[in-house]
């Protein structure tokens, strides 16, 4: 079913933001009592039935170009990165502004590169710090994945600094990763893909195909798993990750979950734990794009099995977890993943805090390429859909 026409009938149902919050809770918490809200629209358009929850869609903004990441500020402003233009767009008072933030560094937008994820500091209300990741041009066609932060002052990014940069630099414009997540303890998690060279993901001497744990200023925690290894990069938290495209913190357990692209088949969900090896490319459920075998092995000693995998690939991107959320009681313990090639919103139902897979459901088939999925401070589920350049909120019908 093609939802583009159906959503055009709904129109851009935007409205003014109502209020500010006086104390900043972690953006990942799904306690909506202290969160700001946009007003809900008059319910209109098609009611969509899932297996457990009926819902409808509100287009918050449209006219974005290749939107990649979003961050919700305490005053109700939303910042959205555009991968190809290298701009950070602004939704303020319910309207997409014509301008963008000043001071974004130069990005290399070749192929999969550009301006990628964005997040705000857990204490943003006091320090105004914004974090963003991008493919940084270094020499010739070579690029790295850089993580930077800056202080937001009105429409300007000031006091910019790169707090982490992944090496080695490469002229391959692929697999930059990434997502940026803060956990309940204030650690910053960040991921970089294998940059198109699968052999790098098992080598701890470089940053490709890894996740990282840092302090908010880029310093390295002394209890990171490989700090005592002389040949390992001390920022590494896990390895053997092909190309992470979604990452979130589980609101109940505090653990970091991710999804990542497989090759042709073998997209994965993983729970990212200290020192774990997730196997790429030694084990995989996928094959090369030309159909040739990467490895005959789907399991090996010392390598983690994915929590869930998809073959054929749906090209996962973006991730959010609904847990004890008052808006979606029938979606409790659901992991939502965007699908790029699959052009749907994927719901994986899990059981318990020591989780196990229950079932999978595919929603909004044909809506377009979903790049990001997130639960915002108002407790509602949002998606960034890049095919038509829209930010969409998912609202329960009841």
Cα dihedral 340, 345, 346, 351 sign: positive
Among 155, 306, 147, residue whose Cα is nearest residue 219: 147
Structural domain that includes position 316: 3-396
279-295: b (≥16 Cβ within 10 Å) or e: bbbbbbbbbeeeeeebe
Annotated active-site residue in 36, 175, 250, 261: 175
Q: Is 36 a catalytic residue?
A: no
Backbone angles phi, psi at 237, to 5 degrees: -110, -40
Model confidence at 153: pLDDT above 70: yes
Model confidence at 269: pLDDT above 80: yes
Model confidence at 186: pLDDT above 70: yes
How far, in Å, CA of 61 to CA of 390, rounded?
Answer: 6
Model confidence at 83: pLDDT above 50: yes
**pLDDT the model gives residue 283:** 98
Res. 30 pLDDT band, cuts 50 70 90:
very low
CA angle 37, 27, 358 (to 5 degrees): 100
**pLDDT the model gives residue 41:** 67
Residue with tokens 């006219």: 63
What average pLDDT does this structure show over 175-202?
Answer: 97
Model confidence at 31: pLDDT above 70: no
What average pLDDT does this structure show over 142-165?
Answer: 98
Give the three-state DSSP class for 112.
coil
Length of the chain: 398
CATH code where residue 353 lies = 2.120.10.30
Res. 1 pLDDT band, cuts 50 70 90:
very low
What average pLDDT does this structure show over 219-237?
Answer: 97
**pLDDT the model gives residue 16:** 31
How far, in Å, CA of 170 to CA of 140, rounded?
Answer: 10
Choose between 281 and 140: higher pLDDT.
281
**pLDDT the model gives residue 43:** 59
How far, in Å, CA of 389 to CA of 382, rounded?
Answer: 13
What average pLDDT does this structure show over 113-129?
Answer: 98
Give me the number of domains the chain comprises: 1
Give the three-state DSSP class for 10.
helix
Neighbours of 302 (CB within 10 A): 8
Which distant-in-sequence residues (6+ apart) come within 8 Å of 38 by Cβ? 14, 15, 16, 17, 18, 60, 76, 94, 378, 393
What average pLDDT does this structure show over 152-179?
Answer: 96
Res. 32 pLDDT band, cuts 50 70 90:
very low
**pLDDT the model gives residue 353:** 76
**Which of 23-27, 41-45, 394-398 has the weakest average pLDDT?**
23-27
Per cent of the chain over pLDDT 90 is 85
What does the pLDDT look like over 356-374, one tens digit per residue?
A: 999 999 999 999 999 999 9
**pLDDT the model gives residue 398:** 77
**Which of 26-30, 128-132, 184-188, 228-232 has the weakest average pLDDT?**
26-30
How far, in Å, CA of 126 to CA of 122, rounded?
Answer: 9
Model confidence at 19: pLDDT above 90: no
Which distant-in-sequence residues (6+ apart) come within 8 Å of 176 by Cβ? 112, 113, 116, 133, 135, 143, 145, 192, 193, 195
Per cent of the chain over pLDDT 70 is 89
Q: Kindly report the pTM of this predicted structure.
A: 0.90
What average pLDDT does this structure show over 226-253?
Answer: 97
**pLDDT the model gives residue 33:** 40
Neighbours of 9 (CB within 10 A): 9
Neighbours of 174 (CB within 10 A): 15
Q: Which DSSP helix (H) or strand (E) runs through 147?
A: strand 142-153
CA angle 37, 18, 24 (to 5 degrees): 60
What average pLDDT does this structure show over 340-349?
Answer: 98
């Amino acid at each position: 079913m093609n939802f583009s026409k159906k959503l055009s009938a709904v129109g851009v149902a935007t409205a003014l933001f109502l209020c500010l919050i006086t104390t900043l809770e972690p953006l990942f918490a799904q306690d909506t009592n202290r969160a700001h809200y946009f007003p809900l629209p008059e319910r209109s358009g098609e009611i969509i039935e899932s297996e457990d929850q009926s819902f409808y869609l509100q287009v918050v903004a449209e006219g974005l170009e290749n939107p990649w990441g979003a961050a919700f500020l305490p005053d109700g402003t939303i910042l959205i990165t555009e991968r190809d233009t290298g701009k950070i767009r602004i939704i303020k008072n319910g309207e997409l502004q014509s301008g963008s933030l000043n001071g974004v560094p130069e990005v290399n937008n070749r192929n999969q590169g550009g301006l990628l994820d964005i997040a705000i500091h857990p204490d943003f209300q006091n320090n105004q710090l914004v974090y963003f990741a991008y493919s940084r041009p270094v020499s010739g066609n070579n690029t790295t994945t850089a993580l930077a932060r800056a202080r937001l002052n009105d429409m300007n990014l000031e006091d910019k600094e790169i707090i982490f940069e992944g090496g080695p630099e490469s002229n391959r414009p692929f697999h930059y990763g990434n997502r940026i997540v803060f956990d309940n303890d204030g650690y910053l998690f960040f991921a970089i893909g294998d940059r198109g060279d699968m052999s790098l993901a098992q080598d701890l001497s470089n940053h490709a195909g890894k996740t990282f744990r840092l302090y908010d200023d880029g310093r390295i925690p002394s209890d990171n798993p490989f700090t005592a290894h002389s040949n390992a990069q001390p920022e590494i938290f896990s390895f053997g990750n092909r190309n992470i495209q979604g990452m979130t913190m589980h609101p109940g357990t505090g653990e970091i979950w991710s999804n990542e692209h497989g090759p042709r088949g073998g997209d994965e969900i993983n729970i990212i734990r200290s020192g774990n090896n997730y196997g790429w490319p030694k084990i995989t459920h996928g094959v090369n794009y030309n159909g040739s075998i990467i490895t005959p092995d789907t399991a090996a000693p010392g390598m983690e099995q994915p929590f869930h995998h998809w073959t054929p690939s749906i090209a996962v991107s973006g991730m959010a977890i609904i847990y004890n959320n008052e808006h979606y009681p029938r979606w409790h313990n659901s992991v939502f993943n965007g699908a790029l090639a699959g052009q749907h919103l994927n719901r994986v139902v899990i059981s318990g805090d020591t989780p196990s897979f229950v079932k999978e459901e595919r929603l909004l088939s044909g809506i377009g390429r979903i790049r990001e999925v997130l639960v915002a401070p108002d407790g509602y589920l949002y998606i960034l859909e890049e095919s038509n350049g829209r930010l969409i909120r998912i609202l329960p019908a009841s």
